[in-house]
Amino acid sequence: MSDPPHFAPLGDSALTIRFGRGIDPRLNARVTAAAYGIRELALPGVLDVVPAYDSLAVFFDPLALDPRLLEERLRGAIGQGNSAAPGVGTGRTHLVPVRYDGPDLEWVAAQVGLSRDEVIRRHAEPTYQVYFLGFVPGFGYLGPLDPSLVLPRRSEPRRRVPPGSVAIAGAQTGIYPLETPGGWHLLGRTDLVLFDAQREPPSLFAPGDHVHFVPVAS
Amino acid sequence: MITVIKAPPFATVQDLGRSGHRSVAVPPAGALDRRAIQIGNLLVGNETGAAAVEWAIGAGEIRFDCRTTVALTGASADVELAGRVALPHAALNVVPGDTLRVNRLVQGSWLYICVAGGIEVPPVLGSRSTYLPGSFGGVAGRTLRAGDRLPIGTPARPRLAGAGESERAGEITDWGTPHSAAPLAVLAGPDRRFLPDAEWARFLDTEFRVSNAVNRSGYRLHGPAFHPDAPADLPSVPTCAGAIQIPVDGNPIVLMPDGPTVGGYPIVAVIISTEIGRLAQRRPGEGVRFHQVELAAARDALRRDAAALERLARASS
């Protein structure tokens, strides 16, 4: 049984709703479902709904909406089970071709005591859940990672990670959409364009999508 | 058309930012001092949300290639228009060939150059605002460079013209002194509970200094350290502009409109919307204090600002 959601103002133009605590696929599915449910209500004055791991934020026009009334409305909607069915959302599963020739593959294999091929197999085996997007446009936090591949992030982040890099850190994996600094371990690369502001929709991934990595020849 | 003759080290095209894309990690971007850009736009007859040039500390020069009207708001600056001192908070007429030269910003960090019709770069995801980390919006997603040519649109309304309008704008908006050092109003943040009451009182009693680490994504403050009693594995949560995060080193970071949409540090307080621009205008080394208000006061401030803009819009038409 899950806790009742906890509401707190995030400044004067947003409300945070926390559904529990932690990084957990089922808890996150509840958050994602609630986010899509709230979006579908299309409440006038609501500008954006932003899910994270165990919480979401509803951004609104403070001149158009009283946050107390919004909270009441959202409590009702969430209580009525608009968010009951986990896994709703776009329902898409993305197949992501990956060349597993990343600069950290050997190091990761040595750290976890597996062969390179076994690291690749275990990384490409699961169907990952897009918990949410953050960090930079189009960056999805995907999980859960096979427990045998869990490693802390690099102590010194790289100053430049090339776009399309497929990486792991903690119990998560992700793909760098842009060239950015980054502290995750780079296993390989994909040619898919994760984010393009001129494309509709701009982001390949949306919260609640699923992702499957497909090893391809380097 | 406007031509950039000499770009300052940092200037971008901004409007009031984009909305609805945070769930794919696209932050709003937009003017750091929202009040200033809105006043400037109204003075030249634009809608409040027209795009303008947001100009940081530093000298530079632009040339107008058409007859139009321009207004300078935000930072107080030493500016010459066609060789004469350019007054702030006023609609100034320009003719083709006139140059606007910013010699320096005297007080504040961000000057807005608002032009009748607005800067008509193509909107991206519903806004003309430059978002530098994503390299989109504004002029090719980057800062302005010498030689850039900025298209200008058609103004929404006839402009305000005539003598004395600077004073009038100041009177109407009561915004003659945007650079006051008065404490900034904050609401308790979603993670306020991780600071014991005595620490919260100390936070509100502290004079911080703006550090050198300031940009459109965030302002890092210096002062005595604070260490919220938050669990180390606290999952990341949605953030917003004005959010005051406390990272591990204990020095607060205030998120700005280009800041990340989700963050992992505890958010102990959030600056109210109407006062984020006041922090943005503070310079490195200047002091910052916070005082706590309730949500009702934040909403009153929003309504007061909206009403003042409404009065200015009526007076300018």
Decide if B90 touches A, using CB distance below 8 A.
Answer: no
Taking the C-alpha atoms of residue A20 and residue B167, their distance in angstroms, rounded to an integer, is: 54
| Amino acid A1: pLDDT | 46
The average confidence (pLDDT) of chain A is 93
| Amino acid B181: pLDDT | 80
Per residue in A54-99, pLDDT (tens digit) is 999 999 999 999 999 999 999 988 876 544 454 455 679 999 999 9
Q: Do B295 and A203 touch (CB under 8 A)?
A: no
Taking the C-alpha atoms of residue B15 and residue B18, their distance in angstroms, rounded to an integer, is: 9
Q: Do B240 and A12 touch (CB under 8 A)?
A: no
What global pTM score does this model have?
Answer: 0.94
Taking the C-alpha atoms of residue A176 and residue A46, their distance in angstroms, rounded to an integer, is: 30
pLDDT-derived band at A32 (thresholds 50, 70, 90) equals very high
The A residues from 159 to 218 touching B (CB cutoff 8 Å) are: 178, 180, 195, 197-198, 201-203, 205-207
| Amino acid A78: pLDDT | 86
Decide if B19 touches A, using CB distance below 8 A.
Answer: yes
pLDDT-derived band at B315 (thresholds 50, 70, 90) equals confident
Is A215 a residue whose pLDDT tops 50? yes
Scanning every residue of chain B, which has its alpha carbon at the shortest distance from the alpha carbon of A67? B295
Per residue in B11-39, pLDDT (tens digit) is 999 999 999 999 999 999 999 999 999 99
Q: Do B235 and A53 touch (CB under 8 A)?
A: yes
* Helix H or strand E segment including B11: strand B11-14
Q: In this structure, are strands A55-60 and B68-81 parallel, antiparallel, or unpaired?
A: unpaired
Taking the C-alpha atoms of residue A98 and residue A96, their distance in angstroms, rounded to an integer, is: 6
Is B173 a residue whose pLDDT tops 60? no
Decide if B63 touches A, using CB distance below 8 A.
Answer: no
* Residue with tokens 């994602």, as numbered in its chain: A32
Taking the C-alpha atoms of residue B208 and residue B203, their distance in angstroms, rounded to an integer, is: 9
The B residues from 200 to 239 touching A (CB cutoff 8 Å) are: 233, 235-239
Per residue in B249-295, pLDDT (tens digit) is 999 999 999 999 999 999 999 999 999 999 999 999 999 999 999 99
What is the arithmetic mean of pLDDT over B83-92? 92
How far is the alpha carbon of B147 from chain A, nearest alpha carbon, in Å?
A: 25
* Helix H or strand E segment including B105: strand B99-115
Q: Within a 10 A sphere around the Cβ of A79, how many other Cβ atoms?
A: 12
Is A155 a residue whose pLDDT tops 90? no
Scanning every residue of chain A, which has its alpha carbon at the shortest distance from the alpha carbon of B125? A197
ipTM exceeds 0.85: yes
B207 closest CA partner among B221, B226, B187, B227: B221
pLDDT-derived band at B141 (thresholds 50, 70, 90) equals very high
Contacts of residue B26 in chain A, CB cutoff 8 Å? 137, 197, 202
| Amino acid A83: pLDDT | 46
Q: What percent of chain B has pLDDT over 70?
A: 92
Contacts of residue B242 in chain A, CB cutoff 8 Å? 11
Chain A / chain B CB contacts < 8 angstroms? 140
The A residues from 69 to 128 touching B (CB cutoff 8 Å) are: none
Per residue in B30-70, pLDDT (tens digit) is 999 999 999 999 999 999 999 999 999 899 999 999 999 99
What is the arithmetic mean of pLDDT over A180-200? 96
A130 closest CA partner among A21, A44, A75, A204: A204
| Amino acid A82: pLDDT | 47
Reading the block at residue B99, the tokens are 């140059």
Is B199 a residue whose pLDDT tops 90? yes
B106 closest CA partner among B147, B78, B139, B136: B78
Select the more confidently predicted residue: A156 or B270.
Answer: B270
- What's the Cα-to-Cα distance from B211 to each of A5, A209, B59, B282, rounded to whole Å? 38, 40, 22, 10
| Amino acid A158: pLDDT | 95
Reading the block at residue B54, the tokens are 């947001």
Q: Do A63 and B303 touch (CB under 8 A)?
A: yes
Q: What is the DSSP string of A140-154?
A: EEEEPPPGGG-BPPP
Alpha helices in chain B (DSSP H): 34-43, 165-173, 197-205, 273-281, 295-316
| Amino acid A84: pLDDT | 45
How far is the alpha carbon of B84 from chain A, nearest alpha carbon, in Å?
A: 41
